[in-house]
């Protein structure tokens, strides 16, 4: 497998990723596919981060908790995976089974993200707070200053944990993106006053790896 190199010392990633399929166990339909971009410890092989895949499947299943298996038969205990035993997934295909067996095994999936409800309680296990709490007094005098301070706070990409080729991202609610991005330039002063973060808004900014 051909791999790309990194100047940061981070694990290499394949130039042509191999994808893992995650399917519905009843109708065998594809829920999603994810690339094997995570290097397995002490090896040069790659897999998919188990908890990431599990959380993605749970979102698609309208937040219904479940487990992954290499078998469409939920009673096949041997084929069932575990995040502790299998932190990375390497098989070609997995099936997402709900923890509570429904009367109709053909459970519903969310095909329109606008219909999905945020799981305020309980969160998936990995959804813990990672943004530093002590952001008070974090303000700056301009966007360059903001970006510099965010990168000081976030030494790694908050999504991939990558440490090179970083940029600062501003997380904006979807229903406000048009207002933020396309408001006429004559209202630039209003944009600055409304969007420029104060001490309570720094959680809307994070460091991420640039494409």
For position 136, what pLDDT does the model report? 47
Q: Is residue 70 classed as helix, strand or coil in its secondary structure?
A: coil
How does strand 166-170 pair with strand 205-209?
antiparallel
Q: Is 144 helix (H, G, I), strand (E, B) or coil?
A: helix
The confidence score (pLDDT) of residue 145 equals: 74
HEC letters along 79-132: HECCCCCCCEECCCEEEEEECCCCCCCCCCCCCCHHHCCCCCCCCCCCCCCCCC
pLDDT of the residue at 180? 56
Record the tokens describing residue 128, joined without a space: 């813990």
Q: What is the pLDDT of residue 149?
A: 78
- Can you list the pairs that 139-148 forms with residues at least 24 positions away whose Cβ atoms lie under 8 Å? 139/197, 139/198, 139/199, 146/197, 146/205
- Please name which of 79, 33, 74, 77 lies closest in space to residue 57, comparing C-alpha atoms: 33
| Overall pTM > 0.75 | no
- pLDDT, one tens digit for every residue, the chain (211 residues): 545 545 445 556 677 889 999 999 999 999 999 999 888 888 878 999 999 999 999 999 999 999 999 999 999 999 999 999 999 999 999 999 999 888 888 999 998 887 888 777 666 666 665 545 455 455 555 667 777 877 777 777 777 777 777 777 777 666 666 655 654 443 444 444 444 444 445 556 777 766 5
pLDDT of residue 158: 72
């Amino acid at each position: 497998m051909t791999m790309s190199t990194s100047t940061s010392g981070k694990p290499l990633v394949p130039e042509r990723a191999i994808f893992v399929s995650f399917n519905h166990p009843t109708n065998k339909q594809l829920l999603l596919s994810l690339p094997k971009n995570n290097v397995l410890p002490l090896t040069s092989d790659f897999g998919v981060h188990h908890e990431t895949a599990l959380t993605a499947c749970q979102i698609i299943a309208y937040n219904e908790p479940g487990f992954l298996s290499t078998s469409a038969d939920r009673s096949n205990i041997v084929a069932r995976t575990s995040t502790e035993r299998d932190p990375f997934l390497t098989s070609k295909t997995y099936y997402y089974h709900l923890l509570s067996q429904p009367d109709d095994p053909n459970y519903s999936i969310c095909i329109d993200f606008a219909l999905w409800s945020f799981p305020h309680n309980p969160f998936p296990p990995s959804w813990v707070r990672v943004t530093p709490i002590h952001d008070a007094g974090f303000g700056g005098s301009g966007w360059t200053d903001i970006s510099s301070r965010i990168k000081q706070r976030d030494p790694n990409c908050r999504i991939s944990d990558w440490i090179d080729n970083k940029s600062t991202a501003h997380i904006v609610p979807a229903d406000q993106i048009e207002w933020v991005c396309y408001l006429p330039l004559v209202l630039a002063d209003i944009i600055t006053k409304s969007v420029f973060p104060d001490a309570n808004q720094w959680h809307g900014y994070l460091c991420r790896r640039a494409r």
